[in-house]
Amino acid sequence: MELKIKEALLSNSEMLFGMQVEEKLIQFQKTRKDVSGDLTLVIFPFVKVLKCSPAEAGEKIGEFIKGNVGNIDSYSVVGGFLNFVIDADYWISALSEMDKIEKYGFGEPNTKPTIMVEYSSPNTNKPLHLGHLRNNFLGYSVAEILKANGHKVIKTQIINDRGIHICKSMLAWEKFSPLNEKGERETPGNTGVKGDKLVGKYYVEFDKHFQIEANAIIEQWNAEDFSETTEEVGAEFNRLDESKTGKDEKAIKGIDGKIKELAKNQTSILREAKEMLIRWEGRDPQTYLLWTTMNNWVYAGFESTYKAMGVDFDKLYYESDTFILGKDLVDEGLAKDVFFRKDDGSVWIDLTEDGLDEKLVLRSDGTAVYMTQDVGTAVDRFKDYPDLQGIIYTVGNEQDYHFSVLFLILNKLGYEWSENCSHLSYGMVELPKGMGRMKSREGTVVDADDLMESIVDSAREMTQERGHLDGISEKEREALFELIGMGGLKYYLLKVDPKKRIVFNPQESIELNGNTGPYIQYAHARIRSLLAKAENNDNTAMGLKNVELQPVEKEILKQLAGFPNALNDAAKNHSPALIANYMFELVKLYNNFFQSIPVLIEEKEELKDMRLVLSRNVAKVIGLGMSLLGINVPKRM
RNA sequence: GGCCCUGUGGCGCAACUGAAUAGCGCACUGGAUUUCGGCUCCAGCGGUUACAAGUUUGAAUCUUGUCAGGGUCACCA
């Protein structure tokens, strides 16, 4: 309808306005609730062109549209707004149209450019936590939304499987794992502990010993015992220690932090870890075997976590394969004068003209940093997928700076596709006050597996006491509890604008009333139950003419008609929250309808049929929309 | 300190990216079922959109400044 009006205005522009108006001037919006009408055209932009009052302009345009575009019942001008009342026939035929399409609102698959969505990208030294949940749900959902809009999508992650942090877990396991009666160290097999948890345990174990050793060194230094320290380090300590005098508490804390760093670098345990990293990079067979073994434990653990999350990937990238990539590009960049080399041999890029700093891209010893690798990986991905148009990186907002640098570098290296790369930056998930920030080494994380399990537990309790569970097998019940619990959790994390941070409240996430996943799931179950009871629920809206529409029914139809638009906006903004809000709006309208308007007991057949078709399409859109959030909907609950 | 993000009823969030009297959920108060699923619905209470200027016919939205919270400024990833 908006299109029809827009076309009519544009093609008759000369006659109406005496000049060709820009398309931008034609702005539609939803009609306010307290004004009668279905669609509103904003008149203000035309006032200047027509040189008359908004009321006159509105009359003129309204009269024209009513006479030249079909299905307009009436129009009214209120202030600078032209409100159209669209007739029932229009809405009924819209219903009939959407009813024919199984995936209503979706674009033709694989008809739009290929986009890669990266998400999750975990380290293999610790289990996934609450923050990963938001990351995974977001990335997965955005990928689904893009697919639904017709894009070809490649879901991927880069697995951080190498580096000093991995060696820390490996070393701690070798040093501290107790031996059982068969003389074996702990494995997932002989302990029953999930692989990623076991490796994570040794990462924490490393840190414990690391801290103890570092603190002991500081104590020695404080006692002026530098017997085990080199002269330079001793001098550095004294310099830092003296600089504390006269400083305030905050500054002292900062200096203490530096001293701690200094001491940590002197520990034997860190030295051993570094030596291990060197052995790994030299492909020492024994180290490599240990690395492969422990990583495989972790992958098995991750796999079960991803399965519980309901996410998947089309292609995996491993940092151990990609960390060398990018070095050639550094040479290329040097040749193009994009980068420059400092005296010590390190390579940098100067981004001061872009409002940023100088950034290191290659260490003085010639090894790659994270940035080098990311540049290389991006280029590599475009080689892997020649039709790739852009990459969306789902990564927390603490890396905003990193990504603005990355995209700038790619741009300066001459890759035009860098403009199509974006950072889907999301706010941190924080714990309620007093619980502090999540730090895996300090054991203050909310573990992903634990959280999902406890959410499903709550869903089980709540559903058992109020659910309609008769005649459902035990197995189906469990699947249902999972569906409700996970639906609640996903909805809770996705309904908020990605860039806003979330304070995670376990209580609220499992709430069933209000703007929640289960509220929407319930509406779906209810409709399915209604449809099941209807004798003939495969009727069509075809041939429904002259049916009278109740105001709520029309509201629902308007909302349904807006689904393609919502889908489009969500894709454009990379925001599942827009889908969630759309769903909630739709369900509220439907519940209102359900409460006040009879369906099955309606005597007039054509009304009953129309309401069934309406209900069926609401259920369909709920199912489609929720699937974009990675949420399943039940037939009963 | 530089840069980035955020600030909307007691709490949690919307507002189609500049339009009408700023919407909704939770909580609170009161009501609704001889009817298809009460995990439902209706009504009420509650806001100077952090503050101050500015641009505009029109600002929660854009600009500038101030304040508050968070992030980031590594030859870490």
Could you tell me which residues come within 8 angstroms of residue A579 by beta carbon, excluding any fewer than 6 positions away?
A: A141, A145, A566, A567, A570, A625, A628, A629
Give, for A145, the enclosing helix (H) or strand (E): helix A130-148
Q: Which amino acid residue lies closest to nucleotide B37, measuring CA to C1'?
A: A526
Does ipTM surpass 0.90 in this model?
A: yes
Collect the ranges in chain A with pLDDT lower than 50.
none
What token pair was written down for A364? 């003085």
Measuring from the CA of residue A595 to each C1' atom, give the nucleotide at the shortest distance: B41
What token pair was written down for A399? 């890396």
Helix (H, G, I), strand (E, B) or coil at A510: coil
Whether A158 sits with its Cβ under 7 A from any strand B atom: the answer reads: no
Using CA atoms, how far apart are residues A590 and A621, in angstroms rounded to an integer? 12
Q: Given the structure tokens 């639906």, which residue do they identify?
A: A487
Whether A594 sits with its Cβ under 7 A from any strand B atom: the answer reads: yes
Using CA atoms, how far apart are residues A279 and A446, in angstroms rounded to an integer? 34
- Predicted local confidence at residue A469, as pLDDT: 78
Cα-trace Rg, chain A: 31
Helix (H, G, I), strand (E, B) or coil at A52: coil
Task: Please compute, for residue A73, the number of CA atoms within 13 A of its CA located in the half-sphere on the CB side.
Answer: 12
Using CA atoms, how far apart are residues A210 and A222, in angstroms rounded to an integer? 18
Using CA atoms, how far apart are residues A301 and A134, in angstroms rounded to an integer? 19
**For residue A371, which amino acid is it?**
M
Using CA atoms, how far apart are residues A156 and A139, in angstroms rounded to an integer? 9
Whether A468 sits with its Cβ under 7 A from any strand B atom: the answer reads: yes
Q: Given the structure tokens 């801290």, which residue do they identify?
A: A211
Q: Which residues of A244-270 are buried (b: 16+ CB within 10 A; e: fewer)?
A: eeeeeeeeeeeeeeebeebbbebbebb
- Predicted local confidence at residue A244, as pLDDT: 80
CA of A365: how far to CAs of A346, A347, A368, A369, A438, in Å? 7, 10, 9, 11, 34
Max intra-chain CA distance, chain A: 97
Residues 160-219 of A with CB under 7 A from strand B: 160, 163-165
The single-letter DSSP state of residue A401 is H
- Predicted local confidence at residue A104, as pLDDT: 96
Could you tell me which residues come within 8 angstroms of residue A324 by beta carbon, excluding any fewer than 6 positions away?
A: A368, A376
Using CA atoms, how far apart are residues A610 and A556, in angstroms rounded to an integer? 12
Architecture of domain A2-86: 2-Layer Sandwich (3.30)
Measuring from the CA of residue A581 to each C1' atom, give the nucleotide at the shortest distance: B14
In terms of Cβ atoms closer than 10 Å to its own Cβ (0-12, 13-18, 19+), residue A602 is middle
Residues 490-529 of A with CB under 7 A from strand B: 495-497, 499-503, 508, 511-515, 518-519, 522, 525-526, 528-529
Nucleotides on strand B lying under 7 Å from protein C-beta: 3-6, 12-17, 19-21, 24-27, 32, 35-42, 57-58, 70-77
Whether A123 sits with its Cβ under 7 A from any strand B atom: the answer reads: yes
Could you tell me which residues come within 8 angstroms of residue A394 by beta carbon, excluding any fewer than 6 positions away?
A: A117, A118, A119, A120, A135, A138, A139, A142, A424, A426
What token pair was written down for A609? 């049929």
Q: Which amino acid residue lies closest to nucleotide B2, measuring CA to C1'?
A: A356
Whether A23 sits with its Cβ under 7 A from any strand B atom: the answer reads: no
Strands A358-362, A347-350: pairing kind: antiparallel
Domain ranges of chain A: 2-86, 327-367
Whether A76 sits with its Cβ under 7 A from any strand B atom: the answer reads: no
Q: Are A465 and A537 in contact (CB under 8 A)?
A: no
- Predicted local confidence at residue A462, as pLDDT: 85
Q: Are A446 and A438 in contact (CB under 8 A)?
A: yes
Using CA atoms, how far apart are residues A139 and A576, in angstroms rounded to an integer? 9
Residues 469-488 of A with CB under 7 A from strand B: 484
The single-letter DSSP state of residue A536 is -
